[in-house]
Chains A and B, each alone.
Chain A
Amino acid sequence: MMPFSRAGFSRLWSMVIKEFLQLKRDRLTFAMIVMIPVMQLILFGYAINSDPKHMPTGLLVSDHSEITRTIIQTLEHSDYFDIKGEFADEESARRALEQGDVQFVVNIPAGFTRSLLRGERPALLIEADATDPTATGLALAAVSQIGEYVMRKDLHGPLSYLNSAAPPFEARVHRMYNPESNTHYNIVPGLMGVILTMMMILMTGLAITRERERGTMENLLAMPVTPLEVLTGKIVPYILIGLLQASIILGASHLLFRVPLFGSLVTLYVVSLVFIAANLMVGITISSLARSQLQAMQMTFFFFLPNILLSGFMFPFRGMPVWAQHIGNLLPLTHFNRMIRGIVLKGSGFSSLWPETWPILLFMAVMMLIAVRFYRRTLD
Chain B
Amino acid sequence: MNSELAIDVRGLTKSFSHKRVVNHVSLQVRRGEIFGFLGPNGSGKTTTIRMMCGLLRPDEGTGTCLGFDIRRESDDIKRSVGYMTQKFSYWEDLTIRENLSFVARMYHMADRDRAVADAIADLGLSERADQLVGTLSGGWKQRLALAACLLHEPKLLLLDEPTAGVDPAARRDFWEELHRLASRGISVLVSTHYMDEAERCHKLAYIFNGNLLANGTSEEIIAAQGLTTWIVRGRNLSALSAKLEQTDGVSQTVLFGTSLHVSGTDPSRLEGILRRETAGTECVIEGAETTIEDVFIFLMHTNGIQTETSA
A and B assemble together: yes
Interface presence of B20 (CB below 8 A): no
B170 at the interface (CB under 8 A from A): no
CA distance A324 to B75 in the complex (A): 45
Binary contact readout A1-22 vs B (1 if CB under 8 angstroms, 0 otherwise): 0000011001101100110011
Query: Using Cβ atoms and an 8 Å threshold, which residues of chain B touch A11?
Result: 105-106, 108
Q: How far is the CA of A7 from the CA of B105 in the complex (A)?
A: 8
The reply to whether B88 and A222 form a contact with Cβ atoms under 8 Å apart is no
**Cβ of B288 to closest chain A Cβ, rounded Å:** 42
B55 in contact with A18 (CB, 8 Å): no
Q: For the complex formed, measure the closest distance between the CB of A219 and the CB atoms of chain B, giving whole angstroms.
A: 4
Q: Is the interface of A mostly helix, strand, loop or mixed?
A: helix
Interface string of A214-229 (1 = CB under 8 A from B): 1111110111111000
Contacts of A225 in B (CB 8 A): 106
Q: In the complex, are the beta carbons of A218 and B89 less than 8 A apart?
A: yes
Smallest Cβ distance from A5 to chain B, in angstroms? 9
Question: B78 an interface residue at 8 Å Cβ cutoff?
Answer: yes
Closest Cβ–Cβ distance, residue A211 to chain B (whole Å): 9
Would A224 and B79 count as touching, CB distance under 8 A? yes
- Cβ proximity bits A358-380 to B, threshold 8 Å, 1 near / 0 not: 00000000000000000001111
Contact, CB under 8 Å: B105 / A10: yes
Q: Which residues of A contact B91 (CB under 8 A)?
A: 18, 22, 216
Task: Give the chain B neighbours of A21 by CB distance below 8 A.
Answer: 93-94, 98
| A379 with B93: CB separation less than 8 A | no
Specify which chain A residues have a CB less than 8 angstroms from the CB of B53 in the assembled complex.
222
Is there an interface contact between A26 and B93, defined as CB atoms closer than 8 Å? yes
A6 to B110 CA separation, bound complex (whole angstroms): 12
B56 part of interface (Cβ distance < 8 Å): yes
Our pick among B56, B81, B103, B108 for the contact of A380 (Cβ within 8 Å) is B56
A219 surroundings in chain B (CB, below 8 A): 85, 89-90
Q: Contact mask A28-54 → B, CB, 8 Å, 1/0? A: 000000000000000000000000000
- Chain A contacts for B79, CB-based, 8 A: 224
Q: Please give, as numbers and ranges, the residues of chain A lying within 8 Å of B103 by CB-CB distance.
A: 223
Q: B57 interface residue, CB < 8 Å from A?
A: yes
A223, B89: Cβ atoms closer than 8 Å? no
Residues of chain B from 42 to 62 with CB closer than 8 A to chain A in the complex: 50, 53-57
Set A22, A226, A377: member contacting B94, Cβ < 8 A: A22
The docked-state distance in angstroms from the alpha carbon of A168 to that of B172 is 101
Partner among B50, B98, B106, B132 whose Cβ is within 8 Å of the Cβ of A223 = B106
A25 touches B108 (CB 8 A): no
- In angstroms, Cα B151 to Cα A113, docked, is 93
B59-91 interface code vs A (CB 8 A; 1 in, 0 out)? 000000000000000110011010101011111
Whether A224 lies near B107 (C-beta < 8 A) is yes
Residue numbers in A under 8 Å from B174 (CB-CB): none
Bound: A7/B112 CA distance, A: 13
From A14, A25, A380, contact of B106 by CB (8 A): A14
Chain A residue contacts of B101, Cβ below 8 A: 14, 17
Residue B140, interface by CB 8 Å = no
Report yes or no: A215 in contact with B93, Cβ–Cβ below 8 A: no
Q: Which residues of A contact B83 (CB under 8 A)?
A: 222
A291 to chain B, nearest CB (A): 14
Q: Which residue of B lies closest to A222 (CB)?
A: B83
Task: Output the least CB separation between B302 and chain A (Å).
Answer: 32
Asked whether A224 lies within 8 Å of B75 as measured between CB atoms, the reply is yes
Contacts of B90 in A (CB 8 A): 216, 219
User: Once the chains are docked, how many angstroms separate the CA of A216 from the CA of B91?
Assistant: 7
Other-chain residue from B55, B87, B94, B105 in contact with A222 (beta carbon distance below 8 A): B55
Bound Cα distance A136, B139 (Å): 68
Instruction: Give the residue of B55, B89, B105 whose beta carbon is less than 8 angstroms from that of A216.
Output: B89
Name the residue on B nearest A223 (C-beta): B106
Judge whether B94 and A10 touch: CB under 8 Å: no
Q: A13-B105, A215-B89 are in contact. Are A379 and B78 (CB under 8 A)?
A: no
- Residue in B closest to A225 when the chains form the complex, CB atoms: B106
A221 touches B87 (CB 8 A): no
* Chain B positions 131-148 with a Cβ under 8 Å from a chain A Cβ: 132
- Going nearest first, the 6 A-B pairs with the smallest beta carbon separation are A14-B105, A219-B89, A7-B108, A10-B108, A224-B78, A222-B83
A-B contact pairs, 11 of them (CB 8 A): A17-B102, A21-B93, A216-B90, A218-B89, A222-B78, A222-B85, A224-B75, A224-B79, A377-B54, A378-B56, A379-B55
Seed contacts A18-B98, A222-B55; 9 additional CB < 8 Å A-B pairs:
A11-B105, A14-B105, A14-B106, A22-B94, A25-B94, A218-B55, A219-B85, A222-B83, A377-B54
Q: A-side interface residues toward B, CB under 8 Å?
A: 6-7, 10-11, 13-14, 17-18, 21-22, 25-26, 214-219, 221-226, 377-380
